[in-house]
Each structure stands twice: as C-alpha cells, then as structure tokens.
Structure 1
C-alpha cells in the first residue's frame, strides 16, 4: 500500500513549498486546505510534474466535524499515512484591544485546536506504520512574548510544548515528532511590507519558504526534535532563551509598533 504524507495549509506559502519539496523526493501526498484555494489545480500539477499520487481534501481545520470527516475520508479510501505535517496556521499584527473577538477565536481554533485534534484523529493511521513522523510548524515566536501579535505567539508556544510532550509519549511507539520554528517568511505582500519596516534586522532574518521546507524535511527524517532554520533565527532563539524579557521588551515592542503604523497607512 502506498504511504502518503498529509500536509495542511498546502495551497500556498510554506505548505505549498512542503508539497513541492516532498513531491520532488517522490513521496505520495494528501493536501489539505480551505475550500476555493485552487487545490485541485495544484494537485493535478504535482501529479503531472512528478508522477506521484496526490489526493486533496478541502476543510476548515477550526471545525471539529470537518476534521472528523477528513479522518473518515482517509479510512474509507484506505489511504495509508506515515507523515503528518501540521502547517496550517493564522497570525497577524494588531493590538489586543483592537482585535476582534472572532479573529482571536479563529487564530486559537486553527493554531491550537486544529493542530491538536487533527493529530489525535490521524494518530491511529500513523501508528499502523513501523516508522512514522509528525512535523509541527511552530515559529521563532514560540520562544518569546511578542506584543501586538494578538494571541499568535502563545499559540505557537503551545505547538512547541505540545510537540515535545507528544514526542516523549510516542518515541517508543515508532512515531517521531519534530517541531520546526521558522522566522519571517515573505509569503505575501503584506508580510513583505511589514518586514521592510524592521530595517536591516528584519531583512537578515528572512528565510524563504523553500529553504524552511528543505531544512524541516531533512531534520525530521534525520531524527531531529527541534529545527530552527537560518543562522540569524538560531541566534534569536538563544537570545530569547538567555536574555531576560525586560531587556528585550523595549526593542521588540518598538519594532512591531512600526508594523502597525505601516499597516494602517
């Protein structure tokens, strides 16, 4: 039976880069994304270009019933899954006071609930294989509070902690869990504009989605637990680990406030 890799948030950005990188390696795929994201066309292109089997499923991962439907769809179609890439996520820059409650709820639902519930729903599929992998996408934001990022850093801190905890539980059961913590990636024009406001510090920390996907895939298959792509991001990782928050807070707040000014203009 052909083994498949499930990738969420696969229609654009890092998820799309993951799909192409795995396809180049000859892996069969199941792509998951929101409806109306041109997923069927992307699926057909991957099959044509790389000769692999590619399935797709449109779902909103903030919706419990859609996650349940996806798991049932995999079971009914007898699709074997040996890798789960939890990539789907939502972020943004806005003060907490000005954030809409619906927006806050959606970030939590997708980043936290979607990751945890989908992982639990697909765990039986993964346990059926001798060697399986879970790759969760957190962020460099998981290691430090970030003002004006709403609840995004807290959700990524959850993913980081969840990954390490789950990995400890599953290491004797043949399922390896890895968490990748990328920095800024210029996935759309709004993010590119916000990165420019950070000056040279923002520019040197940029990593492309292709680079992050390659490093994450290399890391997960080599048995790494934590991946931080890029030298500058590794530096930031240790800064966040070693330097007290009250030293970092003024600089971080000033940088992110610039984003808000640019976004409002």
Structure 2
C-alpha cells in the first residue's frame, strides 16, 4: 500500500499483546480503528487511551471469535454503522504447549476455530470491499512455527502453517488487483501467550509486541507476502526446513521442545 491516510483498520485480539501494539501503532499513524476482543474492559481501556493520544476514531466490538457466528456479527455491526474496513489484522489466536493427548478435544476445537476459521471468515467478509476500492489488504499473524511441524505444539503450529499458506495463496490471487496480503511470523514475543500456552520459556529471548507490529506494518506497506520478525535466528529457523530432510527437522524440533512442555495427564 502506498498510503494509509484516512484508512480504517479492523484488529482482532486487540486488548493486549501484538493486537494492542498494532492498534497503537496504526493509531499513531492516523488510522481510524475497529478493535475486537473477548475482554470488553481491557478493550475499552486501550481504545480510550488511543483516542486521547492520537485523536482518531476507535470503535470497539466485544466478541468471542471461537463462536461460529461471531465473524458475521462483527461484520454486520460494522456495516450497520456505515463503516468500512481497509485493513484487516487477523491477530486473535492461542496455542498450547503439551503432549497432544494432554489437552481436551474442546481446546483444539476452539484453537482451530479461532486461529483458522475466524481468519478465513473475516477475510471472506471484508475482501470484496477492498477489491471494489482496489486498495487495502490483510495482515495475518502466523509464527516461526508456520514453517515446520512442531512436536508438542502440534495443533497450534499446524494452524499457523495454515495461516501462512492461506495468506500466500491469497497474495497470489490479489496482488495484481491492488490488495496486499501479508503473513507476519513472529518468534517468542513478550505477551500473555506463554502463560496461556502453559509453556516453559525461561531463558529464551523475546521480541516486544511493538517490534512485531512495527516490522509487520513495514512489510505490509512494502507489499511483501510474508515476513519473519524479530532476531536473525528466527529467519534462519524459518529456512531450515528448506535445506534439511523433514524427518531430520522433526527430530531436531522434538528434542528442542520435549523438555519445555509442562506435561500433565488427563488419564
């Protein structure tokens, strides 16, 4: 995209972490915002601070995107208010670090609904107006786990592999129609993700949410199909599956993570 002037961005999972960082940086750049998350109180606080600091319009929508009808309800509320979405940031998501059978089926159902289904539904809802305007685009938050199978984080990283593949496929469809689709793939980031994921991450290095948002927006503005944010090691990790046999990669990653999960048993 050449300019973000007078644009409106819809950001999911905007009450904290990477989503909040995107909201604050877009607000600083003068974009009007539509923010959604499950936590209405946190969302209202973020919105009030952005309005005060940057004098932009901020609408909030409290919603749980694991619900099958949530994406349609969000879109309908936006359209009822005569608003439009120029940039969609599909950020909402969660993961679990665990032996596969140590989590309930319902956890995985909700993870897939949020990480995959909501991303597809919201993209399908808002792309038509972008195409009509021949402008705008979508930023989908992937992961360094998008690039290889990851034992002990199997479902989460599989959903993020989907996000990367889906994003790049749409990039191929719409790049010549004025639309940019960018997958932003962070490594460890200082958010609540590790706590929710039940992950052992002591001693690991972290990027900040602000760094992820800054690098993600820069990549989007340059029309890139994807970017790996954070340290150079993250970028090298993303390339490893291109040069090593997949079985080797599986073994390496399994050894990396098998002692980092907080294992427990459901049986």
TM-score, normalised to structure 2, is 0.90
The corresponding residue for 1:17 is: 21
The corresponding residue for 2:235 is: 234
Q: Which has the higher contact order (CA 8 A, sep 6+)?
A: 2
Q: Secondary structure at the match of 1:131?
A: coil
Structure 1 residue ranges without an equivalent (≥5): none
C-alpha contact (below 8 Å) 1:186/1:192 kept by paired residues: no
Inter-partner Cα distance in structure 1 for 2:15 and 2:152: 27
Higher mean displacement: 141-150 or 250-259: 250-259
Change (3 A) 1:36 1:74: closer
Taking only aligned residues, the RMSD between alpha carbons, in angstroms, comes to 2.1
User: Structure 1, residues 39-72: CA drift from partner, whole Å, max 9, x if none?
Assistant: 1121111101111111111111122322111111
Structure 2 residue ranges without an equivalent (≥5): none
The corresponding residue for 2:120 is: 116
Higher mean displacement: 114-123 or 169-178: 169-178
Change (3 A) 1:263 1:209: farther
The corresponding residue for 1:47 is: 51
Inter-partner Cα distance in structure 1 for 2:52 and 2:225: 33
User: Structure 1, residues 164-220: CA drift from partner, whole Å, max 9, x if none?
Assistant: 111111123221111111111121363797221xx5xx32xx321111100000110
Change (3 A) 1:248 1:172: closer
Inter-partner Cα distance in structure 1 for 2:40 and 2:63: 10
The corresponding residue for 2:178 is: 174
Inter-partner Cα distance in structure 2 for 1:147 and 1:173: 38
Inter-partner Cα distance in structure 2 for 1:18 and 1:115: 17
User: Structure 1, residues 71-97: CA drift from partner, whole Å, max 9, x if none?
Assistant: 111111111211011111110111111
Q: CA deviation at 1:132?
A: 0.7
Higher mean displacement: 240-249 or 43-52: 240-249
Inter-partner Cα distance in structure 1 for 2:131 and 2:144: 29
C-alpha contact (below 8 Å) 1:32/1:58 kept by paired residues: yes
Q: CA deviation at 1:261?
A: 4.1
The corresponding residue for 1:220 is: 220
Q: How many residues align?
A: 258
1:135-150 map, 5 Å: 135-150=139-154
Inter-partner Cα distance in structure 2 for 1:121 and 1:113: 12
Change (3 A) 1:50 1:59: same
Higher mean displacement: 136-145 or 241-250: 241-250
Q: CA deviation at 1:35?
A: 4.0
1:61 correspondence with 2:62: no
Inter-partner Cα distance in structure 2 for 1:106 and 1:116: 15
Point out 4+ residue stretches in structure 1 off by more than 6 angstroms.
Answer: none
C-alpha contact (below 8 Å) 2:6/2:30 kept by paired residues: no
C-alpha contact (below 8 Å) 1:6/1:84 kept by paired residues: yes
Q: CA deviation at 1:245?
A: 2.7
1:195 correspondence with 2:198: no
Inter-partner Cα distance in structure 2 for 1:74 and 1:261: 41
Inter-partner Cα distance in structure 2 for 1:129 and 1:40: 30
TM-score, normalised to structure 1, is 0.91
1:69-88 map, 5 Å: 69-88=73-92
